[in-house]
Amino acid sequence: MRKEKVIAGVLAALALTAISALAVIASFIFKEGLPIIAKVGLAEFIFSGNWHPLDGEFGILPMIVGSLAVTAGAMVIGVVFGLGCAVLLTQFCPPRIVSVIKPSIELLAGIPSVVYGFMGVAILVPLIREHLGGPGLSVLASSVVLGVMVLPTVTSISVDALQAVPRAYFEGSVALGATVWQTTHMVTLRAARSGIVAAVILGMGRAVGETMAVIMVAGNTLDLPHSILDPVRTLTSNIALEMGYAAGDHRKALFATAVVLLAIIMVLNSIALAVSRRLPAGRQAGRAAKAAAR
């Protein structure tokens, strides 16, 4: 009994350590960043496009738009290929092939982001410049690189969601005369919908927070992008590029940028948690089976 209490206390301390670390990081960022937001004004800070720290102008709208544009492009690529891989692995591939493909996809998560950035600069950027125009360093290049980087996240979580659907729903649908693809589309994917949405949102959080690879392929200009071939600067890139020499209000503005970035990621994670708990698995699968029967 005493041993169990000690183990429970140690586990509780470890859990509190992680929470405390998050609280310390968040409080430090807010402490450094909120004063400049109060000084400049929230609307001016978020909706202004003038980023001239030496003149006291701190507007991060181009960085917000750049982050959203790059993230949206990355999710189009990551979701299409990631969900496609998940469906292939869980519904159509024999186990022997799955045992080779799935670890290979998950291996992508272990490659350093600087390697992705280097491959983008060396291969992707010249291709875009020669065949599509523009400087090559662009929203498109960043989206492709980030799309590959979020692929393991979307694929792994989607595979888990699809495998959690009871096999009886698949077998029952096929027994009623539906094809394997009709069953996958109308039953399995609908039953796993909350898990798939959570995978997409968590992948989006990874894309929003990426720094090194984006710095290398985005172009890092402070203008609003008007095309996917335009260069862009993201919130994370802005912090990484300027923190080394920033001082005074400039430094505080970079922390305020981190506040905005933290808020975006927290919102995305909260949405993922809410969506994943929205419907019980059995109830959701039952609705999907009824839809397939119609």
Helix (H, G, I), strand (E, B) or coil at 135: coil
Helix 193-209, helix 235-242: angle, nearest 10: 30
pLDDT score for 128: 93
Task: Please enumerate in sequence order all residues whose Cβ is within 8 A of that of 234, keeping only pairs 6 or more positions apart, or say none.
Answer: 63, 66, 67, 70, 142, 214, 218
β-pairing, 51-52 with 57-58?
A: antiparallel
Domain chopping of the chain, boundaries? 61-293
The owner of tokens 């994370």 is 236
The owner of tokens 């710095």 is 215
Dihedral of alpha carbons 124, 126, 131, 133, sign: positive
What letters, b where the CB count within 10 A reaches 16 and e where it falls short, cover 82-98? Answer: bbebbbebbbebeeeee
Architecture of domain 61-293: Orthogonal Bundle (1.10)
Can you read off the two tokens belonging to residue 196?
């798939």
Cα–Cα distance, 26 to 258 (Å, whole number)? 10
Please give the span between the terminal C-alpha atoms of the chain, in angstroms, as a whole number: 56
pLDDT score for 288: 46
pLDDT digits (tens), the chain, 294 positions: 677 888 888 888 888 888 888 889 889 999 999 999 998 888 889 998 889 888 888 999 999 999 999 999 999 999 999 999 999 888 888 888 888 888 888 888 888 999 999 999 999 999 999 999 889 899 999 999 999 999 998 998 899 889 888 888 888 888 888 888 888 888 888 888 888 888 888 888 888 888 889 999 999 888 888 899 999 999 999 999 998 888 889 999 999 999 999 888 888 778 767 766 665 444 444 454 444 445
Element (H, E) at 286: helix 281-293
Number of residues that this document lists for the chain: 294
Can you read off the two tokens belonging to residue 183?
């069953």
CB-based contact 59:71 (threshold 8 Å):
no
Task: Please enumerate in sequence order all residues whose Cβ is within 8 A of that of 141, keeping only pairs 6 or more positions apart, or say none.
Answer: 120, 124, 125, 128, 217, 218
CB-based contact 26:262 (threshold 8 Å):
yes
pLDDT score for 125: 93
Distance of CA 16 to the CA centre of its chain: 26
Nearest CA to 65 out of 227, 206, 213, 211 is that of 227
pLDDT score for 228: 92
pTM over 0.85: no
Nearest CA to 70 out of 150, 151, 152, 144 is that of 144
pLDDT score for 77: 93
pLDDT score for 146: 93
